[in-house]
Chains A and B, each alone.
Chain A
Amino acid sequence: DQQVKQNSPSLSVQEGRISILNCDYTNSMFDYFLWYKKYPAEGPTFLISISSIKDKNEDGRFTVFLNKSAKHLSLHIVPSQPGDSAVYFCAASRNYQLIWGAGTKLIIKP
């Protein structure tokens, strides 16, 4: 039973445009949601997070939106750059543990 789902295995976006990555969850007890970025042969690196009591958090080109009623969050990257090409993981925290989605591979086209 996947509690955190990323339904798009991959996404291709033109450089300079907006990238939108989506994540759905089933457990309303999650208290924090985080996005991590992963390059091949490296560990994930933290990107941005949002508390369950907020609906938006922004950090430079990255914005995360949380819709609690729909149990949905999204990561917006504006503008998209070639270095953004990576796998993006959504994760949700509860009881000392992070529950991870399967990831979305973002490809930025020049």
Chain B
Amino acid sequence: NAGVTQTPKFRVLKTGQSMTLLCAQDMNHEYMYWYRQDPGMGLRLIHYSVGEGTTAKGEVPDGYNVSRLKKQNFLLGLESAAPSQTSVYFCASSPGTGSFYSNQPQHFGDGTRLSIL
């Protein structure tokens, strides 16, 4: 019963370094999402994917890239990390069958805490 697994759980980077966050889900979900959560704010959508090989921009996509080469994996990349990207990153997935406008709650991983010095 793994659900949504995020690796790593913690990471400290220096400004300008690059890294990739990995999200894996074992529920055969079509849709996957990357969010960031900053203190005193709600989750904000960075990028999302409605199926293998597809990606789309969310609310705050600048400075991030994503890839969905396999249905179960969704990768979030930071090409040149900046202090403003210090945050907690959450990955989520949802079934995506039928109309998106039906009630299809998202299932979340436990987050990656990322600090950029």
Q: Do A and B come from one complex?
A: yes
Q: Which of A51-110 contact B (CB under 8 A)?
A: 51, 89, 91, 93, 96-103
Q: Which of B81-104 contact A (CB under 8 A)?
A: 90, 92, 100-101, 103
Q: How far is the CA of A102 from the CA of B59 in the complex (A)?
A: 15
- Sorted from nearest, which 8 A-B pairs have the closest CB atoms? A43-B108, A100-B42, A46-B105, A100-B43, A102-B42, A101-B42, A49-B103, A43-B110
Beyond A43-B92, A96-B100, list 20 extra A-B contacts (CB 8 Å).
Answer: A4-B42, A6-B42, A9-B40, A31-B101, A41-B111, A42-B111, A43-B4, A44-B43, A44-B108, A45-B108, A46-B107, A49-B105, A91-B42, A91-B43, A96-B48, A97-B59, A98-B43, A98-B45, A98-B106, A103-B42
Interface residues on A, range: 20 to 34
Q: Which residues of B contact A (CB under 8 A)?
A: 4, 31, 40-45, 48, 50, 56, 58-59, 90, 92, 100-101, 103, 105-111
Q: How far is the CB of B97 from chain A (nearest CB, A)?
A: 14
Chain A residues in 8 Å Cβ range of B106: 46, 98
Q: How far is the CB of A57 from chain B (nearest CB, A)?
A: 10
Q: How far is the CA of A93 from the CA of B50 in the complex (A)?
A: 15
A44 touching B90, Cβ below 8 Å = yes
Q: Which residues of A contact B (CB under 8 A)?
A: 4, 6, 9, 31-32, 34, 36, 41-46, 49, 51, 89, 91, 93, 96-103
Q: How far is the CA of A9 from the CA of B42 in the complex (A)?
A: 11
Q: How far is the CA of A93 from the CA of B105 in the complex (A)?
A: 10
Partner of A51, one of B40, B58, B103, B108: B103
A43 touching B45, Cβ below 8 Å = no
Q: How far is the CA of A9 from the CA of B111 in the complex (A)?
A: 22
